[in-house]
Structure 1
Amino acid sequence: MTHATSLPPSPLQPPSAMTVTIYHNPACGTSRNALAMIRQSGEDPEVIEYLETPPSRDTLRQLIAAMGIPTRDLLRRKDTPYDALGLDDPTLDDDALLDAMLAHPILINRPIVVTAKGAALCRPSERVLALLPHPVATFTKEDGEIVSSAGVAR
C-alpha cells in the first residue's frame, strides 16, 4: 500500500513555497496522466525524467522513506529486467534492490510525486490529487476514465 506522508525539509522538497516534483517517464500513460493532473491543477512542476537523470542512492532512500514504503514496493516488474535479475528473491536486502534500480533505472516504478504535503508513488495516477493544494475537480485520463478530486483526503 502506498502512503502519502509529511516530509521534513530535505533536498527533495525545499521548505519554501509549494513545489511539485514528479519523477516522470513520458512513455508511461500513468505518469503522463499524473503530470497532466498536476498541470491542470495550476502547478508548474519540476519534471525529472528519471531514465535520463536517475536519482542517486541517497535520493532513492529519501524518497522511499518519505513515501513510507518498503524498498521492494518501488520495483517495477513489467517491461524491465526484474525477472532476468532474479529480483523476486526474498533474501535480497534493500542495498541489493537499490543497486539494481541504480544500474537499471527502468526498475524504478513511476510516477513518484513530491510536494510539501508529502510523497507518493502515484499508481493509480489520481493518487496525485491528495498531494496538491488545489487539485483539478475532474480529469479525463488518456483511456477516457474520468476521475474526480471529490472525496480525496487532503
Structure 2
Amino acid sequence: MTDITIFHNPRCGTSRNVLALVRHAGFEPRVVDYLSTPPGRDEIRALAVAAGVPLRALLREKEAAFAELGLGDAGLGDDALLDAIERHPVLLNRPIVVTPLGTALCRPSEAVLELLPVGPLPPFTKSDGEVVHDHGRRRG
C-alpha cells in the first residue's frame, strides 16, 4: 500500500477534487482536516522544505486574515508566518499532498497527478465538469 497524505479542507472545491483524483487512482489517502487538526510548526516547515518552496508559498493570500495580519510584508520571517498559521490555520493553503514521489501544493487539482505512483489514469471529471486527462508525467 502506498502512503499518501492530503492536508484537506472539505469546504474547498480544489481540495475535494484532489482527494477524488487520488481515490480515482486507487488510493485511500490519510486525510488531515487541517482546520480541525492543524499540523504543528515543525510539520508545516517540513512540508515547505519537502515541497521545495519557501514557507510563504504555502500561505493562502485570499483569506481575510492574510491582509488583516499584514502578511504581505516581505520582511516577515518564517517564525512570524508560522505564528499566524498557528493562530489561523485557514491561512495554510490547500491541498498539500505528500506521496512517495514528493510533496506539493496541488493547485490546480490536476497537479496531484505528478505525485501519484501509478498511471496513466483514465480521464477524470472534476466537480465543475472539466475533464482531466492524465498524460503520464510523474516525478521521480
TM range (shorter): over 0.9
Contact 1:80 1:107 in 2 (8 A): no
Which runs of 5 or more structure 2 residues have no equivalent in the other structure? none
Alpha-carbon separation, structure 1, partners of 2:49 and 2:89: 18
Cα distance per residue 1:40-59 (max 9 Å; x no partner): 10001000000000000010
| Identity %, equivalent residues | 57
Q: CA deviation at 1:77?
A: 1.7
Task: Give the structure 2 partner of residue 83 of structure 1.
Answer: 67
Higher mean Cα deviation, 31-40 or 73-82? 73-82
Higher mean Cα deviation, 138-147 or 38-47? 138-147
Alpha-carbon separation, structure 2, partners of 1:29 and 1:18: 24
Alpha-carbon separation, structure 2, partners of 1:134 and 1:33: 18
Which runs of 5 or more structure 1 residues have no equivalent in the other structure? 1-16
Cα distance per residue 1:78-123 (max 9 Å; x no partner): 2331001000111101111111111100000000000111100000
Structure 1 vs Structure 2 CA RMSD: 1.1
Task: Give the structure 1 partner of residue 94 of structure 2.
Answer: 110
SS at match of 2:103: strand
Contact 1:138 1:148 in 2 (8 A): yes
Q: CA deviation at 1:152?
A: 2.4
Higher mean Cα deviation, 68-77 or 30-39? 68-77
Cα distance per residue 1:15-45 (max 9 Å; x no partner): xx52110000000000000000000100010
Q: Hey, which bits of structure 1, 4+ residues long, moved more than 3 A?
A: none
Alpha-carbon separation, structure 2, partners of 1:93 and 1:50: 22
Alpha-carbon separation, structure 2, partners of 1:65 and 1:79: 23
Q: Which has the higher helix share?
A: 2
Bigger relative contact order (CA 8 A; separation at least 6):
1
Given the alignment, which residue of 119, 135, 138 partners 1:150? 135
Paired residues in the alignment total 138
Given the alignment, which residue of 2, 9, 17 partners 1:33? 17
TM-score (norm 1): 0.86
Given the alignment, which residue of 120, 124, 132 partners 1:139? 124
Contact 1:118 1:131 in 2 (8 A): yes
